[in-house]
Amino acid sequence: MAQTFIEILRRALDEEMARDAAVYLLGEDVAEGGAFGVTKGLAAKHGATRVKNTPISEAAITGMATGAALCGLKPILEIMFIDFATLALDCLVNQAAKYRYMSGGQLAVPMVVRTQSGAAGGAAAQHSQSLESWFIHVPGLVVVAPSSPMEAYGLLKSAIRLGDPVLFIEHKRLYAMKEDFVDSAELPTIGKARVAREGSDVTIIAYSAMVRTALEAAETLAGRGISAEVIDLRTLLPLDMATISASVSKTHRAIVAHEAVMSGGVGAEIAARIADELFDELDAPVKRVGCPFVPIPFAPELEKALLPNALSIVQAAQELVR
Amino acid sequence: MSVNTPNAERQIWIYTQMLRIRTFEERVKRTFTDHPGVIRGHTHLADGAEASIVGSLSGFKKGDAALATYRCHGYPLVLGSDPKAAMAEIYGRVDGLCKGLGGSMHLTDVAHGFLGTSGIVGAGIPHAAGAAWAAQIRGKEEVVLCFFGDGASKQGAFAETLNIASLWKLPCVFVMENNGYNVVTTSAQEDANAAAGEPLSIKAKAFAMPGVTVDGTDPLAVHAVVSEAVARARAGHGPTLVESKVYRLSAHGNIIAPPGVPLHYPEHEAITVFGNSAEYEAALRGDPVPRFRGILVQNGILTPEHAAKITSEVDAEMQAAVDFALKSPFPTLESALQYNYA
Ligand SMILES: Cc1ncc(C[n+]2csc(CCOP(=O)(O)OP(=O)(O)O)c2C)c(N)n1
Ligand SMILES: [Mg+2]
């Protein structure tokens, strides 16, 4: 039976808590399910000690999760909206990412910070951002952005077992997405991308909710005689250049599509790496698809108009494959 | 004297640890003149706070943990770290506690319960609470000691953390070393409680936890206050905020200068900024290390001969640390690319 992203994510949390007694959940309202109900029922099942509600103190709770991780726990912290990660940035950037390094390998921070990002349904400028590129700039962090319920299931489990601080970015537009739950013994490797659709004329590199959009675009393009390959990055840091390279060496054209604004974005990084490492393979410049450089407006009609969609990707592909 | 008074042997141990910190840091300071260029970056000395540090850690048990700030040389020495490895870290050498990747501000020695430091003022406070949360879950009556400065208590992380620590009854003791200064700013210039003439321990009241102010230049007084707080934490009754009043006898840190400019320790800010030599000289007269030695001799706990023997042993230990650190190789380039991920 098909289950939603939220249900499948909850299942991953539930199973990891059952599997490993060191896994603890904390965050604002998590004992009641958190802002989107992801952790609903877990307190009743695993006990209030293991699913802790915290005060609205992002600096302290991120610091506490880090401190607990130093001492053998595997905390999973929920930051309600990635927009609020600004208040946790000091800990993530200056401490969690650096403890292992600064201590010469004595310390480890096996922590997952779950958060959600992206625009949906008129949450306006402070509850809709895509801020992932801030974090890919920080050595020591891992950034994961799953594209579907089953992807989230495997990636969350791998993240929990990784042993390094992971920012796990869910997309609110995906929360209602349904998929059949498929049991598989194999978990994805953090740092490995996946080819979501094979093609030969152009590579569309995407992550998070934009993978679905890219697949839609690829379908449209197929109808117009353009064969698009879609790469789901899964992990933004570390970046899987090997998968990108294999694909671009085949298609000779690349588009990076994300919901975040383009300036200083993940797409800028990937375009630079492709230009640097695969210049001779390219038949056309690398294209980026992203949001215009403004905050996300409230009016849902405007929000929808600004967000990159399948058509934006189709147009970019058609410009490249002329 | 209360039941919390350490016996004679323990008092000698406390004195010895105070002297070890002092001598170690004198050798750090002397390195700037004896071996110019050997220490780069930022160092911060704890001279004047030795009684507070040792008094706080004298009840430390295996399984307990301590976290501190960039002013961090003293704690690991008391907890059992090898001064050779500590000095090598400060010199940026491969045999350092952190293999030269941390430096003076980030001494860490997990094997001895010293979980690390943050150079970001106030940032270590929630980490200590997180460590205390883990200790609470382990349920072995282990505690976490969290050291930070008076200035750090104006950070949001301080207020956020004390609230949770009290709410969750975490086994944590927050030791605020009030040395009266944040670099060149006095507490009264930046702290509403200090400006109103209140002790900084009053901040505990906002978080429904005990707050105690203690003379941080008296190791036995600190021992008494902190061990009571530790006992409370071990018993599951939650955290305490201890304001330990000390005076830092050196400037905030060595001068910060671009490469090529030799580094040194300037005079204390009381003199350079406030023109108040009288304040500084009074603090020097109250120097806790010779004072405690005097008290032990006066009380017949330590003979002058024994004191002299301790001094020469500590001198030799710290000379060996300097010699070792000077000879230790620089880290290899490959090591700079390690330890980033598991
Ligand atoms: C977040 C942050 N702001 C500013 C600084 C610069 N700084 C380093 S130490 C210091 C003073 C801190 O005073 P206090 O907490 O009393 O500790 P002390 O140095 O006196 O031991 C400042 C402002 C910093 N390291 N981190
Ligand atoms: Mg101070």
Summarize pLDDT for A6-23 with one digit per residue, the tens.
Answer: 999 999 999 999 999 999
- A107 and A79 inside one domain: yes
Cross-chain Cβ contact B97/A91 below 8 Å: no
Catalytic residue among A7, A16, A28, A58: A58
pLDDT digits (tens, 9 = 90+) for B201-260: 999 999 999 999 999 999 999 999 999 999 999 999 999 999 999 999 999 999 998 888
Are residues A203 and A172 part of one domain?
Answer: no
Give domain status of residue A221, yes or no.
yes
What percent of chain A is helix, strand and coil (3-state, nearest 5)?
40, 20, 40
Give the DSSP letter of residue A265. S
Mean pLDDT of A88-99: 98
Q: Let me know if residue A189 belongs to a domain.
A: no
Calpha distance A180→A4 (Å, rounded)? 9
pLDDT of residue B22: 98
User: Which pLDDT does position B3 carry in this prediction?
Assistant: 55
Per cent of chain B over pLDDT 70 is 99
Catalytic residue among A46, A127, A171, A258: A127
A151, A14: one domain: yes
CA distance A104 to chain B (A): 4
Query: Contact at 8 Å (CB) between A23 and A160?
Result: yes
**Of residues A85 and B4, more confidently modeled:** A85
Q: How confident is residue B2, by pLDDT bands cut at 50, 70 and 90?
A: low
Is A137 tagged catalytic? no
Contact: A107, B115; criterion CB under 8 Å: yes
CB spacing of B131 vs A49 below 8 angstroms: no
Mean pLDDT of A68-73: 98
User: Is B163–A99 a contact, with Cβ atoms under 8 angstroms apart?
Assistant: no
Task: Classify residue A249: in a domain, yes or no.
Answer: yes
Nearest residue in A to B96, CA atom: A104
Is there a domain that residue A188 lies in?
no
pLDDT of residue B4 exceeding 80, the answer is no
Output the pLDDT for position B19: 98
The predicted-structure confidence for A115-156, as pLDDT tens digits, reads as follows 999 999 899 999 999 999 999 999 999 999 999 999 999 999
Same-domain check for residues A26 and A90: yes
Query: Is A68 in CB contact (< 8 Å) with chain B?
Result: yes
Domain ranges of chain B: 8-26+39-77+119-257+272-314
Q: Flag whether residue B133 sits within 8 Å of chain A, measured between CB atoms.
A: yes
Whether residue A118 sits in one domain with residue A58? yes
* Domain-ending residue, one of A138, A154, A180: A180
Best of B70, B118, B121, B148 for a ligand 1 pocket test (most atoms within 8 Å of beta carbon) = B121
A256-267 mean pLDDT: 98
Cβ of residue A61 closer than 8 Å to a chain B Cβ: yes
* Radius of gyration (C-alpha) of chain A in whole angstroms: 19
Round to whole Å and give the CA distance between A163 and A159: 8
Helices (H) and strands (E) in chain A, counts: 12, 14
Which residues are CB-contacts of B215 (< 8 A; sequence separation ≥ 6)? B221, B222, B245
pLDDT of residue B53: 98
Looking at B65-172, list the stretches that DSSP marks H as alpha helix, in order from N- to C-terminal side: 74-79, 83-90, 124-138, 156-167
Ligand approaching nearest to the C-alpha of B42: 1
Domain that holds residue A86: 2-180
Residue A187 lies in a domain: no
Same domain, residue pair A138 and A64: yes
* A26-53 tens-digit pLDDT: 999 999 999 999 999 999 999 999 999 9
Same domain for A289 and A256: yes
Residue ranges lining ligand 1, Cβ < 6 Å: B 71, 119-121, 149-152, 179, 181-183, 252
Contacts of A164 in chain B (CB under 8 A): 341-342
A129 with A226, same domain? no
Nearest ligand (C-alpha, residue B180): 2
Averaged pLDDT score across all residues of chain A: 97
Examine residue A186 and state whether it is found in any structural domain, yes or no.
Answer: no
The structure's pTM equals: 0.96
Q: What is the CATH number of the domain that holds A113?
A: 3.40.50.970
A232 membership: H or E segment, kind and range: strand A228-232
What is the CATH T-level fold of the domain B8-26+39-77+119-257+272-314, as seen in this structure?
Rossmann fold (3.40.50)
Binary contact (A106, B108; C-beta < 8 A)? yes
Of the residues A180, A212, A242, which one is the last residue of a structural domain? A180
Residue A259 sits in a domain of what CATH number? Answer: 3.40.50.920
How many domains, in total, are found in chain A? 2
Backbone torsions φ then ψ of A181, nearest 5 degrees: -80, 125
Residues of A in contact with B138 (CB under 8 A): 72
Q: Does residue A99 sit at the B interface (CB-CB below 8 Å)?
A: yes
Residues A21 and A84 in one domain: yes
Q: A162 and A27 in one domain?
A: yes
The ipTM value here is 0.93
pLDDT value at residue B260:
85
Task: Choose the residue to mutate in B47, B183, B245 for probing ligand 1, maximizing ligand atoms within 8 Å of C-beta.
Answer: B183
Q: What is the pLDDT of residues A156-185, one digit of tens each?
A: 999 999 999 999 999 999 999 999 999 888
Do A317 and A268 have their domain in common?
A: yes
Mean pLDDT, chain B, integer: 97
> Looking at the domain assignment, is residue A75 inside a domain?
yes
pLDDT value for B259: 84
In a domain, A15, yes or no: yes
- Give exposure, B155-167, as e/b (b: 16+ Cβ within 10 Å): bebbbbbbbbbbe
What is the pLDDT averaged over residues A181-209?
A: 96
Q: How far is the CA of A94 from the centre of ligand 1 (A)?
A: 15
Residues A125 and A14 in one domain: yes
